[in-house]
Structure 1
Amino acid sequence: MSITSFYFLCLFALTLLLYYLVPKKVQWPLLLLLSIGYFLTSAEVRDSHAWYLILYPMAAVGAVWGAAILIDRTKEQKKKLAALICAVLFCVGLLCTLKFFHLGLLAPMGISFYTLTLLGYLFDVYYEIGPVQRNYGKLLLFGCYFPTMISGPIMKYSDMEKQMYTGHKLDYRNVTFGMQRMLLGFFKKLVISERTAILANEIFNNYEKYSGVSIWVGAAAFTMQLYTDFDGCMDIVLGISECFGIRLPENFSAPFLSRSIEEYWRRWHISLGDWLKNYLFYPLLRTKFFMNLPKKLKGKLGKKGAKQATTFLAMLILWFTIGYWHGGAWTFIIGSGLLHWFYIVSGKLMEPLFVKWRAFFHIEKEKKGFILFQRVRTFFLVMIGLVFFRSATVPDALRVLGRGVSGLGLQLFRNGVLSGLGLDWTELMILALSILFSAWVTIHNQKEDMRVTLEKKPIWLRWIALYALLFYVILLGKYGPGYSASEFIYQNFKV
């Protein structure tokens, strides 16, 4: 059942009604039943009649649940470590078996996200920085909470414990704010993402016909497609959860306002970045090998250089993991991993030179023009990575980039070719206006949540604005007979 489908919205409305009618102590079991039901009606289960797929997350939760209780009860460090290792190997082994080794077994929906969510909980218990959940059903809800099964965000148990299991009274503000955010998500997904997909698919699938500007239009279209698809999904997910009185962690914070790749990754897929830093990068730096490495390199690189080289090596492992998590193919490892590692490392190494250049040309770092240049540069570097991300193979990506620097390539703007791509000038105008509106909302949200701003307006103006956006989505969204929005594109680019 697609999260954008009419049937899902009906199910959500019915569950929301029941949620506030039943006693508070029954609310979390109701969400658990809905989560299991949603899992069992997913396309993977329904189309293959593979009801047994629900056993995978239940087994992963069982392994983590048992290991966490054992870790909490025993005082022997060796037993704690053994329980941790066994549970991690079981969960990671299950993930790899289903996603990488292709043994003819179907991979259940959301396996990447619930695996990282559960392992984060287990690590917190092991390091004694998080509480233990002794109720299997409650931990199952945490691991398989239905809104997050699509594309996250990756949750931290200590942040979610009280919210998930404590009853909630009906709160008009939570419900209305949640539905407003869902509406914005549908707008991004159905109006913007599905239109940019038409341009991106045409150019990437037939890149031999295009060059120069046309290639970069395709790359920009795919960048916007991926962003509005993923961010739109997050708006829907966070909005659904907010209606139940449960606030999930934010996953995006205006990434295309970033002035560097490093800042971009602090704003894009925030929950994944935080998880990998807390449970991979920092623990890696605390291992004996990385603690001793600066001492070995000190004689050749100096104290500062040795420390920097050690950090860069740990970052290399981190970024390789990020790329591998997105799919395992080299297009993902390069496009969302190693290339970004190269951007960040080269930027840090060349920073002294950049400082001299700015001083020589009398460029003030905080001037609006220079900030705009940095943001455009960051967007362009991200686009290059996403060319690899979108291409079938690395050679294909290199050929696409090669076409991008060969000639002006104005094919898109001649003789009505745009109509041949499925976007006539009316569609292009709708797309351009929609992107501008989305950008305006994003920038406004950096100062104040648009919903809060709207709340301050007269009620008649508020309802006009909301109904205008609703009918804009209904009339101009890509859905209905002959069209399927059953998947969010980001599901195809992760483990």
Structure 2
Amino acid sequence: MIYTKNGFEIKQILKKDKDWGINMAFNTLTFLLFFVVILILYYIVPLKYRWIFLLLSSYFFYLYASVKFALFIIITTISSYIGAIMIDKTHVEERKIKDMDLTAAEKKIEKEKIKKNRKFILISLLVLNFGILVFLKYFNFFAQNLNVLFDSISLANRVPTFNLILPLGISFYTFQTMSYVIDVYWGKVNAERNLGKVALFVSFFPQIIEGPIGRFKDLAPQLYKPNANSEKNIVYGVQLMMWGYFKKMVIADRVAVVADFVFGNYLSISGVGTIIGIFLYAIQDYTDFSGCIDIARGCAQAMGIEMAENFKRPYFSRTIPEFWRRWHMSLGAWMKDYVFYPFSLTKVMRKLGKATKKRFGKYLGRTLPVAIGNILVFFLVGVWHGANWNYIVWGLFYGVLIAIASLMKPIFDWLNTKLKIKTNSKLFIGFQILRTFWITCIGCIIFRAENLHAAWDIFLKSFQIIDFPLNIKAELLTFGLNKANYIVLLASLIILFIIDVFQEKMLIRDWFNKRNLVFKFFIYFIAFAAIIALGMYGPGMSSNQFVYMQF
């Protein structure tokens, strides 16, 4: 894949014949054949060797997709394996000090030496691995912005740019592996002594493309244990995969046609058409990313491995903080544990909290450090998504909103009381859900637009409903879909909405699997037929790759 934005080119590596394409993406026949073969062999291989088989399968997948750039994942794996063991040894050395024949002062000095050594190892690992990610993903961005700065002050200096390659899944496996190293540093997990097992944790093929970002203590034991044959695992896994394929190929790839047209031609369409494009891009972003995660989790579940949940019906959220507790949950949890909490507990933030409490009261003293922490976290979330000002502003947009909301909560609560608003009424909850969705649509504009200037123009265009076309149907038919496709899209969105509503209230798969065999096979047949017959492929309608593969 080649992803271009603001003149900055990133190449995402996925092999397709002689070119780099999407031959091993989840929505290809190649991947489906690969997975079926792997699943069959997985349950044939003796129990104690299954983790080895998974390792070989994962490396086959990665090398097939990105053989020229496998060096980067190997560097991350080996450095983390060695570094984690070295860190673990410092914990052992520190525990031995209490039994040494030393004075209390001498023991303290020895402990400080060990702690400094441990911290040095951790920082070295973080600099090495995040350094690789930063260089490959952001060097050209920094160079181009420095060159713009030099031009503005009439300097002839130039920072060179390179045709950099972004290895498959580097953002996901780097974050996942560094969480393992940090957990070893904090003493939450012991370092794994088997290099092959660390390599499997880093490269497990269902999650390498788009996550979710797993934790060692949760994911690793499942990868290594001899999972017994289970019909239930296979059934549940295939169900989840089919739901993911429905969201991706029937909905996401269909709405992408309209969203791409609107964001590319917003100057020549109506305000209402622009609103429709924004709305459909929000749907695309959700169904594409969550569809991929469902496929990945389904693949793992078919082998008895439960990966972290990454989405929980985010568009039913009543507030922006709740939205981010439901959206890309594994990234949010990573940022909370490894950035937000450590930052909030720094001496600077503690001092700020105490000073603010003394001057402005307990609530603000407690909330201001949290608000600043949220701004930092969402700035980093924006940066994580890519080297582009849109992503940075998008992250800050959410960080500042959440900070303001937390700081002004007493005022909002006072207004609700004064206005006698029944905050638990269905009407008010509905208003909150629609308000939150509208705010996320603004975020979608910033995220999807070609640049910040275009994002502002699209935002303003969405208010120009005075030019509502006399025949909105005619305009919609110029967006790339015909009438039949719009009918399919509407029906699919209704199904998505109904399923999500039920999932909010119950474990729908447990309910479904208790139904009789005839009913279940009927649903299977309808779902399979819908994916085959209504999935976006064929002449002029090739399946789009997953949106988050570029990150």
Shorter-chain TM-score above 0.5: yes
Residue number in structure 1 paired with 2:33: 10
Greater CA drift, 187-196 or 128-137:
128-137
Select 1:446's aligned residue among 501, 504, 513. 504
How do residues 70-469 of structure 1 correspond to structure 2 at under 5 angstroms?
Answer: 70-74=86-90, 75=93, 76-102=114-140, 103-298=162-357, 300-335=359-394, 337-411=395-469, 413-414=471-472, 416-469=474-527
Select 2:78's aligned residue among 62, 87, 90. 62
SS in 1 for 2:477: helix
- Root-mean-square deviation (CA, aligned residues, Å) is 1.6
Q: CA deviation at 1:303?
A: 4.3
- The alpha-carbon distance between structure 1 residues 415 and 78, as it changes in their structure 2 partners (threshold 3 A), is closer
1:92-116 superposed Cα distances (whole Å, 9 cap, x missing partner): 0111111111443422100000000
Determine whether 1:40 maps to 2:63.
yes
SS in 2 for 1:100: helix
1:437-472 superposed Cα distances (whole Å, 9 cap, x missing partner): 012112212233322111111100110011111101
Q: Distance in 2 between matches of 1:311 and 1:182?
A: 38
Q: Whose Rg is larger?
A: 2
Q: CA deviation at 1:361?
A: 3.4
Residue number in structure 2 paired with 1:20: 43
The answer to whether the 8 A contact 1:210-1:403 is kept is: no
1:167 maps to a residue whose letter is P
Q: Distance in 2 between matches of 1:291 and 1:65?
A: 34
Q: Distance in 2 between matches of 1:160 and 1:210?
A: 48
The answer to whether the 8 A contact 2:172-2:211 is kept is: yes
Residue number in structure 1 paired with 2:537: 479
1:376-411 superposed Cα distances (whole Å, 9 cap, x missing partner): 000000000110100111111011111111233434
Q: CA deviation at 1:299?
A: 5.2
1:28 maps to a residue whose letter is W
1:133-190 superposed Cα distances (whole Å, 9 cap, x missing partner): 1111111110111111111000010011221011112111100110011011000000
The answer to whether the 8 A contact 2:184-2:190 is kept is: yes
Q: Distance in 2 between matches of 1:298 and 1:468?
A: 60
- The alpha-carbon distance between structure 1 residues 349 and 291, as it changes in their structure 2 partners (threshold 3 A), is closer
Q: Distance in 2 between matches of 1:382 and 1:214?
A: 18
The answer to whether the 8 A contact 2:321-2:402 is kept is: yes
Q: CA deviation at 1:193?
A: 0.4
Q: Distance in 1 between matches of 2:222 and 2:74?
A: 22
1:237 maps to a residue whose letter is A
1:253-307 superposed Cα distances (whole Å, 9 cap, x missing partner): 1101100000000000000000000000100112222222224445543443233
Q: Distance in 2 between matches of 1:475 and 1:5?
A: 15
SS in 2 for 1:101: helix
The answer to whether the 8 A contact 1:214-1:409 is kept is: no
- The alpha-carbon distance between structure 1 residues 18 and 202, as it changes in their structure 2 partners (threshold 3 A), is same
Q: CA deviation at 1:486?
A: 5.6
- The alpha-carbon distance between structure 1 residues 197 and 460, as it changes in their structure 2 partners (threshold 3 A), is same
The answer to whether the 8 A contact 1:210-1:411 is kept is: no
1:451 maps to a residue whose letter is R
User: TM-score, normalization: structure 1?
Assistant: 0.94
1:89 maps to a residue whose letter is V
1:236-265 superposed Cα distances (whole Å, 9 cap, x missing partner): 000000011100010001101100000000
The answer to whether the 8 A contact 1:320-1:333 is kept is: yes
Q: Distance in 2 between matches of 1:245 and 1:365?
A: 42
The answer to whether the 8 A contact 2:273-2:476 is kept is: no
- The alpha-carbon distance between structure 1 residues 375 and 54, as it changes in their structure 2 partners (threshold 3 A), is same
Identity of aligned residues (%): 34
The answer to whether the 8 A contact 1:155-1:248 is kept is: yes
Q: Which runs of 5+ in 2 are unaligned?
A: 1-23, 94-113, 141-161
The answer to whether the 8 A contact 2:173-2:208 is kept is: yes
Determine whether 1:53 maps to 2:69.
yes
SS in 1 for 2:465: coil
Q: Distance in 2 between matches of 1:281 and 1:266?
A: 14
Q: CA deviation at 1:481?
A: 5.2
1:15 maps to a residue whose letter is I
Greater CA drift, 475-484 or 86-95:
475-484
Q: Which runs of 5+ in 1 are unaligned?
A: 46-50
The answer to whether the 8 A contact 2:324-2:332 is kept is: yes
Residue number in structure 2 paired with 1:29: 52
Q: CA deviation at 1:215?
A: 1.6
Greater CA drift, 467-476 or 349-358:
349-358
- The alpha-carbon distance between structure 1 residues 364 and 302, as it changes in their structure 2 partners (threshold 3 A), is closer
The answer to whether the 8 A contact 1:204-1:218 is kept is: yes
Q: Distance in 2 between matches of 1:7 and 1:283?
A: 43
1:72-100 superposed Cα distances (whole Å, 9 cap, x missing partner): 11231111111111111100011111111
SS in 1 for 2:139: coil
1:36-68 superposed Cα distances (whole Å, 9 cap, x missing partner): 1111222xx3xxxxx331111011111111111
- The alpha-carbon distance between structure 1 residues 139 and 412, as it changes in their structure 2 partners (threshold 3 A), is farther
